[in-house]
Amino acid sequence: MKPATTRTRIEGVLAPVITPFRRDLSPDPDRFVRHCRWLMRSGCSGLAVFGTNSEANSMSVEEKLELLEALVGSGVPAAALMPGTGHCALTDAVAMTREAVRMGCGGVLMLPPFYYKGVSDEGLARFFSEVIERVGDERLRLYLYHIPPVSNVPITTALIERLLDRYPGIVAGAKDSSGDWENTRTWLERFAERGFDVFPGSEVFLLAGMRAGAKGCISATANINPGAIDRVWRNWRSPEAEKLQAEITATRRIVQKVPMIPALKAVTAHFANDAEWRRVRPPLVELTADEERQVITELKAAGFSMPGL
Amino acid sequence: MKPATTRTRIEGVLAPVITPFRRDLSPDPDRFVRHCRWLMRSGCSGLAVFGTNSEANSMSVEEKLELLEALVGSGVPAAALMPGTGHCALTDAVAMTREAVRMGCGGVLMLPPFYYKGVSDEGLARFFSEVIERVGDERLRLYLYHIPPVSNVPITTALIERLLDRYPGIVAGAKDSSGDWENTRTWLERFAERGFDVFPGSEVFLLAGMRAGAKGCISATANINPGAIDRVWRNWRSPEAEKLQAEITATRRIVQKVPMIPALKAVTAHFANDAEWRRVRPPLVELTADEERQVITELKAAGFSMPGL
């Protein structure tokens, strides 16, 4: 494939959007679009729909494409979307990625195939290359999704080197959810100059990331706290930056005392006064009443709110 | 749902059938059916198609259903089939399981949803219950697939207890690929009397398993060594049993010196004189020439062959 042409890249704060489910556990496009629009109004520059926090891996290709079509149809700009399109099955990953590009999505965020463990960089390079070649579209901007605590299949620095050599411009960056700042820094040092955009996977690393050349962050808590995280992104060079960073870090610490995905849903349910948001798909379970009380109480004590929700 | 009615259960040696791929990496139904027929002629009582060794998680639901239809259409008895139907996405798991039951499969072998880690028994119980309720068919025989080294999501003894209480007869057994004999023995002691059939995930534990109440085994190497493994199953009470067991264990040890899935394919390619069999789907890679030479040389030195292939 020819080298990709230059285009505006997604930067800033992205939310891995939580997915609402109806009573029958089917995805709820109306609530989903409503939440996405609130996020875009409230500070998010983009939406990494179908991430880990979206329970994306608990949905089929068809269910995700239906939500994506509803979202693009609602007028949220496709250029601001970075849907997760990674699947264990090569053909599923290709189908998702192809549709995302066809709809004009600004990028795709791809998990490695995560069933087989201990696979080689050669095997992973073949997988990503096969997806890129089959999609065969210069508009593709592929962001690699490194989340070893969940996927148990890491994206190594050597793998990025290899893919970037082969597909410059197409291989556009990565989300680093390792929680290991040394890894993020290594990638920024090695690849930022090569048009490879690094997004830490938590706003805890946002200010440090920006100072080292990151493009923003893609973070679970951007689902509930987009405005404050966006302020750090916009003001990272200002004298206030440290203080703003300390505030969003404090909010994050409260939420991650309990299981993250049901917590984001419980907080959204509480502040939207909409119990439907609490629902998760198995194998996840909702927060207990005690857990929910704890997180809401602590957030309120810290002055947290979700204005305009 | 009402308790399941009694039916003949699958017993004996089952192969998690390797999946042949064409040059374009699409599944090859002709070679697949041919290998399945050879396995059934050569000692297998049943076929656990779409297991880990089948690269099942590298295929989409549609690709697997196409292979299953070809297999059932070829005259291999559906009652002898125990396809893998587990998926991370609830809806995919339901779709696969429903089709398998509709085609008359003797059982299904279900992985837990394996993306999210550290999930609770409550979450897994909800997942399996949801599949059972949605399929809603008394013919369903669900075997739980415990393979923590790969899935990283274990099936606990407490989870089995819970599912068996709720769906006796429907929850029909398990494949234990933990490699932990103590776990297998615990399950046999606790559940064998309750119509819960335990299959060790390796023939290395076949004789010990049969003596403790197992129903056979479901093992990778049954793809290449079905006859010898079947002899242990048929003769486990005979004075020869220890000697026969030692032979199949020795063969297994040779194969597992190199990566198992490409090894099974390389051995099949060699003995079928059909290079097409070597192909794997990414993220897996073929054996190196050295690895292949090693495994073939050692197998031949041990007198191994694949008669009638």
For residue range A218-253, list pLDDT tens digits in order.
Answer: 999 999 999 999 999 999 999 999 999 999 999 999
Q: Above 70 in pLDDT, residue A7?
A: no
Tokens coding B180: 């932990």
Task: State which residue of chain B sits closest to A126, comparing Cα positions.
Answer: B282
Higher-confidence residue of B7 and A31: namely: A31
Give the span between the Cα atoms of A125 and A108, in whole angstroms: 17
Give yes or no for A61 touching B (CB within 8 A): yes
Give yes or no for B283 touching A (CB within 8 A): yes
Q: Which residues of chain B are within 8 Å of residue A63 when distances are taken between CB atoms?
A: 89, 91
- Alpha-carbon Rg of chain A, whole angstroms? 18
Q: Above 70 in pLDDT, residue A105?
A: yes
- Alpha-carbon Rg of chain B, whole angstroms? 18
Helix (H, G, I), strand (E, B) or coil at B217: strand
Give yes or no for A297 touching B (CB within 8 A): no
Q: Which residues of chain B are within 8 Å of residue A57 when distances are taken between CB atoms?
A: 88-89, 113, 115-116
Give yes or no for B120 touching A (CB within 8 A): yes
Q: Which residues of chain A are within 8 Å of residue B133 when distances are taken between CB atoms?
A: none
Task: State which residue of chain A sits closest to B284, comparing Cα positions.
Answer: A123
Tokens coding A130: 């096969």
Helix (H) or strand (E) holding A175: strand A171-176
Residue at token pair 């559906």: B78
Give yes or no for A123 touching B (CB within 8 A): yes
Farthest-apart Cα atoms in chain B, separation? 56
What pLDDT sits at residue B223? 98
Report pLDDT digits (tens) over B35-84. Answer: 999 999 999 999 999 999 999 999 999 999 999 999 999 999 999 999 99
Report pLDDT digits (tens) over A130-168. Answer: 999 999 999 999 999 999 999 999 999 999 999 999 999
This complex has an ipTM of 0.96
Give the span between the Cα atoms of A42 and A59, in whole angstroms: 27
Which of the four pLDDT bands, split at 50, 70 and 90, describes residue A2? Answer: low
What pLDDT sits at residue A6? 56
What pLDDT sits at residue A8? 86
Task: State which residue of chain B sits closest to A89, comparing Cα positions.
Answer: B58
Give yes or no for A112 touching B (CB within 8 A): yes
Report if pTM > 0.90. Answer: yes
CB atoms within 10 A of CB A88: 26
Pair A196, A170: CB distance under 8 Å: no
Q: Which residues of chain A are within 8 Å of residue B116 when distances are taken between CB atoms?
A: 52, 57-58, 150, 283-284
Whats the size of chain B, residue-wise? 309
Give the span between the Cα atoms of B205 and A100, in whole angstroms: 47
Task: State which residue of chain B sits closest to A125, comparing Cα positions.
Answer: B283
B151, B284, B287, best to mutate vs chain A, most A CBs in 10 Å:
B284
Side-chain-facing half-sphere of A92: CA atoms under 13 Å: 31
Q: Facing residues of A199 across strands? A: A175
What pLDDT sits at residue A1? 52
Give the mean pLDDT of A257-271.
98
- DSSP E strands, B10-140: 12-15, 46-47, 108-110
Residue at token pair 């029958």: A24
Q: Which residues of chain B are within 8 Å of residue A153 when distances are taken between CB atoms?
A: 283
Give the span between the Cα atoms of B12 and B211, in whole angstroms: 14
Give the span between the Cα atoms of A83 and A104, in whole angstroms: 11
What pLDDT sits at residue B7? 67
Give yes or no for A127 touching B (CB within 8 A): yes
Mean pLDDT across chain B: 97
Side-chain-facing half-sphere of B124: CA atoms under 13 Å: 27
Mean pLDDT across chain A: 97
Give yes or no for B159 touching A (CB within 8 A): no
Task: State which residue of chain B sits closest to A87, comparing Cα positions.
Answer: B58
Report pLDDT digits (tens) over B137-161. Answer: 999 999 999 999 999 999 999 999 9
Report pLDDT digits (tens) over A186-226. Answer: 999 999 999 999 999 999 999 999 999 999 999 999 999 99
Give yes or no for B25 touching A (CB within 8 A): yes
Report pLDDT digits (tens) over B108-134. Answer: 999 999 999 999 999 999 999 999 999
- For the ranges A3-12, A148-157, A170-179, A214-223, the lowest mean pLDDT is seen at A3-12
Provide the residue type at B221 as one letter: T
Q: Above 60 in pLDDT, residue B1?
A: no
Give yes or no for B181 touching A (CB within 8 A): no
